[in-house]
Amino acid sequence: MNPGMKRSVLLLCSLVLALSLAACAKQQAAPPSAAGQPSKQAPAFTDAAKPDYWPTAGWKTTSPEAQGMDSETLAEALQSYKDHNLHSVVVVRNGYLVAEAYSSGYQADTIQELHSATKSVTSSLVGMAVAEKKLKDLNQKVSDYFPEIASDPKKANMTVEHLLYMASGLDWNNNGEQSSLELMGSPDWMKYILSKPSRAEPGTVFHYSNGDAHLMSGIMQKATGQTLYDYAKPRLFEPLGITASDWKKDPQGYSIGAWSLMLTPRDMAKLGFLYMNHGVWDGRAVVPEQWIDASWEKRAPQKFNDGTQGGYGYYWWMKQLAPDTASAQWKQEVYFAAGSGGQRIFIVPGLKMIVAVTANNDNEAIMPEQLLFALAGSVKSDKALPESPEAAAKWTQAAEAFKQVKDKPE
């Protein structure tokens, strides 16, 4: 197979897996198993305290009990979901790595594709570019960067902000990922996106679109003079100590703004830790706090089929930890980056908890949210619990058994 064909096949495989969470919200998911459900009401926690160290060189580890969590409940959660084509789970609380597990073929240093969770990193970089004045503001017209659309009455009104919350008005067929597959087969991806007809006035309708996110990459490259990947390395990845990564490009050399970033799950958790700490890392403002607040504003309300309320911001999702039927204490707000197949970076400020998940499960599109709820059941206190060798042994056994698990055909 020649290199060009090989590259196309890899991109095709990536996109077939990269279904949007907009579709996930419409898909019914099974409730968490009894083993994974919280057995008691959750304690009320506040925002994360200032870290006592920064995991730039790597996460410090403790037992779950040292962070107020129960190892046995973590083990039960992993056992409940290990056969759902789960690949990796990393759990951080109070800034400490308390649990991680990897299925067959995956290890802590294996970089994995984030699929559409890439969009949340794209959002981070846009916020940094605005702070650097490389992007003037979010009201800038898309036509400032792509003047060929200036003569179209609707397209001429598209702004950078419209792209960031999927309200460009451009048509995008998510049925079977038709438009995204056509995009991948196009010799010029930006031209393909800009040629799509307008289905609505910009800013009036939320419509999930890989085209909007990739067009944002094109604007960023024109504004900064660098690909998203090259822009991210010194500003985002290096400060966090992220040294293993990859980010594919389109035929014109633009980093794919909608998918294809590859990171380790531990580094996915670092991004969550950065956001939990308001964009500050070891005394340095990496992502502006105001940008995080804006990204987490519910600009497009959503109701998910698991009974939770949520919304969409600037390439970030948010929802309740538990459905409306759960006790009030479990209605924690969760902010997350999401990619199809089960890629997630979950941030639960009220529990001081971050969970990174990778998987290959398109049939249960919101399985990771159910897994998160099960894992959250391990949180028992904001203080250390007594150590339990028996509970620790159960987690070790569950993680060791998980190493032998292979994906099942969907």
> Has residue 398 got a pLDDT over 90?
yes
Taking only the tens place, the pLDDT of each residue in 212-269 is 999 999 999 999 999 999 999 999 999 999 999 999 999 999 999 999 999 999 999 9
Please give the pLDDT value at position 310. Answer: 92
Question: Taking CA 159 as the corner, what is the angle to CA 157 and CA 160, rounded to the nearest 5 degrees?
Answer: 165
Query: What are the sequence ranges of the domains in the chain?
Result: 27-110+264-402, 120-228
Please give the pLDDT value at position 1. Answer: 42
> Has residue 154 got a pLDDT over 90?
yes
- Residue reference for tokens 């991806």: 189
DSSP string, 202-213: TTS-----HHHH
If you average pLDDT over every residue of the chain, what do you get? 89
Taking only the tens place, the pLDDT of each residue in 346-357 is 999 999 999 999
Helix (H) and strand (E) counts for the chain? 14, 13
Please give the pLDDT value at position 13. Answer: 39
Please give the pLDDT value at position 91. Answer: 98
CB 63 within 8 A of CB 91: no
Kindly state the percentage of the chain with pLDDT values over 90.
81
Taking only the tens place, the pLDDT of each residue in 259-300 is 999 999 999 999 999 999 999 999 999 999 999 999 999 999
> Mean per-residue pLDDT for 93-118?
98
Taking only the tens place, the pLDDT of each residue in 247-260 is 999 999 999 999 99
Q: Count of alpha carbons within 13 Å of 77, Cβ hemisphere only?
A: 30
What is d(CA 216, CA 218) in angstroms, rounded to the nearest whole number? 5
Taking only the tens place, the pLDDT of each residue in 34-63 is 333 333 343 344 455 689 999 999 999 999
Please give the pLDDT value at position 41. Answer: 42
Taking only the tens place, the pLDDT of each residue in 15-31 is 443 444 444 443 333 32
Residue 160's nearest CA partner among 144, 142, 172 is 142
Q: What is the pTM of this model?
A: 0.90
* Domain 120-228 sits in CATH 3.40.50: no
> Mean per-residue pLDDT for 321-345?
87
What is d(CA 317, CA 11) in angstroms, rounded to the nearest whole number? 24
The class that CATH gives domain 27-110+264-402 is alpha beta
Please give the pLDDT value at position 410. Answer: 75
> Mean per-residue pLDDT for 301-330?
85
Where does the pLDDT of residue 309 fall: very low under 50, low under 70, confident under 90, or very high at 90 and above? confident
- Do the domains 120-228 and 27-110+264-402 match in fold? no
